[in-house]
């Protein structure tokens, strides 16, 4: 069985929120940005590429019934929530907050002299009414250099963080000329997001913010033309 429904998501079509302290690019409909062709993909609802200025951030605000992942690309985020959890999330660390029946949290730039950039990812949970929870882990960068590193899964295998959904999230870093393969099984759906860099997949060139989705059974070959980081979502 071959891959089907191959679709390239052009990063230039993302929505933009820009204030004095925040620049946020929205891969899917979010807030004031509404695009009927970008209403998420399967259980994946939000990928926001956020850059927060020094001394700023998101004040305390609520969430319910959503799995919220924060993957820091540069800088650090200061987190505090209503469960009593607080701490710093640095580059290469993943935070996974299960909002469940309701949680409030804040996210501030932890740098005094520079901006912080992170991806905030929302995945719709497969169950509702769970007790709010917080997880955080630093993942060794050497384990994603040229190979896929699992960072979230429904069963927390391999040291990944547990997400309440039939979804796995993996990350890879490729240097110039680096190559990799991304593979899914029959009945699964894949969404490959370029966090930054320049890669080629078949005849398509993808840059930071671009993505490709597909389904079926098979693999895609990836070749990096620049230093790149990609996230792959294996979804039901």
Query: How far apart (Å, rounded) are the C-alpha atoms in residues 68 and 58?
Result: 14
CB 94 within 8 A of CB 161: yes
Domain borders along the chain are 4-235
Mention the CATH class of domain 4-235.
Answer: mainly beta
Model confidence pLDDT, tens digit, residues 186-233? 999 999 999 999 999 988 999 999 999 999 999 999 999 999 999 999
Query: How far apart (Å, rounded) are the C-alpha atoms in residues 36 and 231?
Result: 23
pLDDT, tens digit only, all 236 positions of the chain: 478 899 999 999 999 999 999 999 999 999 999 999 999 999 999 999 999 999 999 999 999 999 999 999 999 999 999 988 888 999 999 999 999 999 999 999 999 999 999 999 999 999 999 999 999 999 999 999 999 999 999 999 999 999 999 999 999 999 999 999 999 999 999 999 999 999 999 889 999 999 999 999 999 999 999 999 999 999 99
How many contiguous H segments (helices) and E segments (strands) does the chain have? 0, 20
**Which residues sit opposite 76 in a β-bridge?**
90
Q: Is 121 exposed, middle or buried (0-12, 13-18, 19+ CB in 10 A)?
A: buried
């Amino acid at each position: 069985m071959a891959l089907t429904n191959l679709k390239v998501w052009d990063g230039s079509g993302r929505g933009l929120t820009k204030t004095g302290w925040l620049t946020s690019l929205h891969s899917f409909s979010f807030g004031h940005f509404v695009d009927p062709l970008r209403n998420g993909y399967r259980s994946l609802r939000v990928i926001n590429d956020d850059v927060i200025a020094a001394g700023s951030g998101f004040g305390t605000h609520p969430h319910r019934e959503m799995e919220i992942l924060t993957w820091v690309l540069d800088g650090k985020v200061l987190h505090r929530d209503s469960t009593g959890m607080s701490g710093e999330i640095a580059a290469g660390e993943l935070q996974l907050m299960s909002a469940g029946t309701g949680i409030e949290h804040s996210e501030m730039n932890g740098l005094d002299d520079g901006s912080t950039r992170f991806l905030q990812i929302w995945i719709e949970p497969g169950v509702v009414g769970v007790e709010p929870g917080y997880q955080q882990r630093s993942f060794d960068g050497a384990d994603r250099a040229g190979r896929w590193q699992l960072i979230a899964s429904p069963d927390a295998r391999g040291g990944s963080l547990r997400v309440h959904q039939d979804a796995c999230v993996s990350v890879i870093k490729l240097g110039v000329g680096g190559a990799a393969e991304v593979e899914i099984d029959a009945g699964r759906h894949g969404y490959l997001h370029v966090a930054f860099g320049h890669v080629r997949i078949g005849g398509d060139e993808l840059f930071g913010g671009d993505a490709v989705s597909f389904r079926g059974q098979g693999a895609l070959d990836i070749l990096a033309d620049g230093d790149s980081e990609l996230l792959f979502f294996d979804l039901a």
